[in-house]
Amino acid sequence: MKLQLKSYTIALLIAPVLTQPTPNSGTNWTQCTSLKPPNIPGTTIISFKAQELLNYTVSAVPLLLKNDISGLNICDVDIVLTHQGAQDQVKVKIWLPLEGWNGRFLGTGGSGFAAGLFEYSLAPAAGLGYASASTDAGLSGDPYSPELWALTADGKVNTELLVNFASRSVHDMTVAGKQISTQFYGTKPHHSYWNGCSTGGRQGLVSAQKYPADFDGIVAGAPAIDWARYVVAEQWPQVVMKEHQTYVDPCLLKAFTQSAISACDSFDGVNDNVITEPKRCVFSPFKLVGTSVDCNGKTISFTRIIATVIHDILRGPFPKDTSNLYALNLGAPLDYLSNTTVLDGVRKGSPFFVNDAWLRYFVLKDPSFDTTTIGYSEFKKLFSQSQDEYGEIIGSNNPDLSGFQKQGGKLIVWHGLSDQLIFPQGTVNYHHQVEAALKHRVAMDTFYRTFLVPGVDHCGLGLTNGAVPVDPLSSLVAWVEQDVSPDILDALASNATGFTLTRSICRYPLTSRYIGHGDQNSAANYICVP
């Protein structure tokens, strides 16, 4: 599986700390090379290969895998399957630790337009002793572009592959992964989990919605739910800049974000460059009009039109909708969605690849369309059209989780409040929708808990000031297997000089506050308050 890597990705987040495998007797194990193909309803297996990989290394790749993972001993299973009538070829890769299996199965997800990250998500899982699986859903495997699979030869959207990406392949991979694990180890995994962020977070919630028996527990980070709408809304900053014919220098965007953080930083009792409750923060870009900003030695003045553009970007496309689902929080960086580029001395819009590609391939069905030309009225039209055509397929936001709840499933959802790519309010909104859909007497927090993480960008990637959850998967396992329900998630921030601080991420709707004395860098001196 080859991923084409560019500067930024939306990676699956798995705990970076590896535990030492414990020896396993393995008395009932099947030889890796003697494994037989699984039986997956609705599919035909095209190819099946199982081989041992000994002392195997997966090398670090920026933003996908933090550190090299070496010394892996695994049974590596590669399956290619096809869905009857779909003319697809779906790859599924399953990794079974040859030593120290922890008795569990872990489903892993994708990022951007990729359904799975293969070795980059399987290696950390294997290092922790999980049998795990990843699938490409029959797509190209490139997280950055659906170019190779979005349209059929006659220019129509490839609905079969979109359905694979949206939901079908997550389930097939899980069926395959569990069957092969059982066959190999001679006993069923005692528990099954999902861990994913972004597209991976969306896939986790899809499992809970559509295939409630697949997992006992699911970690969904920054879930890309409501895809058909929120992805179009990611285009909004470009629409605003186009309408005002004003493309903002990233240095001014950064200056604005920093000023907003400074204005609201201390509300939680501590100055740490983090806005803990963006909802309580009010900071108008018009306050900066007339100031000048030092941009790499060049002085740029913050004009009224710049303030207007930033104001309109932050207001979001539907300001009258009080939930403001598609607006970024103050403190979130603006550089990806409001990106620009200078060509022949002229600054122009440079849309983020997810919304740009979604609009061109799926909504407009015209790969050559220039999305920087989209203005207010066309934006509105495309927003509705995307939802009309694809909301059912890839909205992934059905709030009815009764099946998952009834079979005892647990969900941990977390989302950085400074996420600049997926609007955190969508996660809050879904939380309330799930709660509203519950039958009386079922308390939300008995099976579904949301953690909003102050000052953290998309999936904890990029340079943010906030502390990132260290290991939500372990909290989930303790919840499922020992009934220890998570009130907080442990989080850590560190920087290049080795400085670290800890925080406890409070369970929504609680929020963290400094107790007023003691080390401000230690989670021990914060409490969760309403």
Ligand X SMILES: *[C@@H]1O[C@H](CO)[C@@H](O)[C@H](O)[C@H]1NC(C)=O
Listed in sequence order, the DSSP H helices in 114-198 are 119-127, 159-163, 169-185
Under the criterion CB under 6 A, does residue 522 sit at the interface with ligand X?
no
Residue 364 and residue 374 in contact, taking contact as beta carbons nearer than 8 Å: no
Select the residue interacting with ligand X from 84, 497, 517, 530 (CB under 6 A). Answer: 497
Alpha-carbon distance of 54 to 126, in angstroms, equals 13
Q: Kindly indicate which of the ranges 143-151, 173-181, 322-330, 496-504 contains the residues binding ligand X, using the contact rule CB under 6 A.
A: 496-504
Based on CB atoms, which residue is closest to ligand X, 224 or 412? 224
Residue 413 DSSP label: E
Select the residue interacting with ligand X from 499, 516, 517, 530 (CB under 6 A). Answer: 499
User: Is the backbone peptide bond immediately before 509 cis, with ω within 30 degrees of 0?
Assistant: yes
Under the criterion CB under 6 A, does residue 7 sit at the interface with ligand X?
yes
Residue 129 and residue 174 in contact, taking contact as beta carbons nearer than 8 Å: no
Helix, strand, coil content of the chain in percent (nearest 5): 35, 25, 45
CB of 313 to ligand X, least distance (A): 15
Binding mask 26-45 for ligand X (x = CB under 6 A): -xx-----------------
Based on CB atoms, which residue is closest to ligand X, 153 or 496? 496
Based on CB atoms, which residue is closest to ligand X, 28 or 296? 28
Q: Give me the catalytic one of 121, 167, 181, 198.
A: 198
Based on CB atoms, which residue is closest to ligand X, 48 or 56? 56
| Cβ neighbour number for residue 74 with a 10 Å cutoff | 22
- Beta-sheet strand order (sheet of 131-135): 43-58, 69-83, 90-97, 131-135, 104-108, 191-197, 217-221, 410-416, 448-453
Alpha-carbon distance of 259 to 307, in angstroms, equals 13
CB of 69 to ligand X, least distance (A): 11
Alpha-carbon distance of 473 to 218, in angstroms, equals 8
CB of 7 to ligand X, least distance (A): 5
Q: Kindly indicate which of the ranges 22-30, 102-110, 398-406, 484-492 contains the residues binding ligand X, using the contact rule CB under 6 A.
A: 22-30
Under the criterion CB under 6 A, does residue 67 sit at the interface with ligand X?
no
CB of 468 to ligand X, least distance (A): 15
Alpha-carbon distance of 312 to 315, in angstroms, equals 5
CB of 458 to ligand X, least distance (A): 12
H/E run at residue 305: helix 304-315
321 in active site: no
Based on CB atoms, which residue is closest to ligand X, 53 or 478? 53
485 in active site: no
Find tokens 């290969």 and name the residue. Answer: 49
Alpha-carbon distance of 225 to 165, in angstroms, equals 13
Alpha-carbon distance of 6 to 114, in angstroms, equals 14
CB of 66 to ligand X, least distance (A): 18
3-state secondary structure 334-399: CCCCCCEEEECCEEEECCCHHHHHHHHHHHCCCCCCCHHHCCHHHHHHHHHHHHHHHHHHHCCCCC
Burial class of residue 351 in the structure, from the number of CB atoms within 10 Å of its CB (0-12 exposed, 13-18 middle, 19+ buried): buried
CA–CA distances in Å: residue 391 to residues 70, 364, 371, 376: 42, 15, 21, 21
Residue 459 and residue 198 in contact, taking contact as beta carbons nearer than 8 Å: yes
Select the residue interacting with ligand X from 341, 373, 377, 407 (CB under 6 A). Answer: 341
Based on CB atoms, which residue is closest to ligand X, 25 or 368? 25
Based on CB atoms, which residue is closest to ligand X, 7 or 20? 7
CB of 186 to ligand X, least distance (A): 5
Under the criterion CB under 6 A, does residue 245 sit at the interface with ligand X?
no
Under the criterion CB under 6 A, does residue 57 sit at the interface with ligand X?
yes
Select the residue interacting with ligand X from 2, 20, 25, 463 (CB under 6 A). Answer: 25
Select the residue interacting with ligand X from 44, 67, 70, 152 (CB under 6 A). Answer: 70
432 in active site: no
CB of 28 to ligand X, least distance (A): 4
Binding mask 320-339 for ligand X (x = CB under 6 A): ---------------xx--x
Select the residue interacting with ligand X from 159, 350, 385, 485 (CB under 6 A). Answer: 350
* CB-facing half-sphere around the CA of 183: CA atoms within 13 A: 19
Q: Give me the catalytic one of 458, 471, 475, 504.
A: 458
**β-bridge mates for residue 453, sequence order:** 416
Q: Kindly indicate which of the ranges 25-33, 376-384, 387-395, 508-516 contains the residues binding ligand X, using the contact rule CB under 6 A.
A: 25-33
Q: Give me the catalytic one of 265, 272, 419, 457.
A: 419
Chain-centroid distance, C-alpha 435 = 22
Count the site residues for ligand X by CB under 6 A.
18
CB of 493 to ligand X, least distance (A): 9
DSSP 270-286: --SS--S-GGG----GG
Based on CB atoms, which residue is closest to ligand X, 187 or 292? 187
CB of 339 to ligand X, least distance (A): 4
Based on CB atoms, which residue is closest to ligand X, 55 or 368? 55
**β-bridge mates for residue 193, sequence order:** 106, 217
**Which residues from 180-219 bind ligand X, rule CB under 6 A?**
186-187
Based on CB atoms, which residue is closest to ligand X, 55 or 84? 55
- Beta-sheet strand order (sheet of 488-494): 468-469, 488-494, 500-506
- Which residues carry out catalysis? 198, 419, 458
Q: Which residues bind ligand X (CB under 6 A)?
A: 7, 25, 27-28, 55, 57, 70, 186-187, 335-336, 339, 341, 350, 495-497, 499
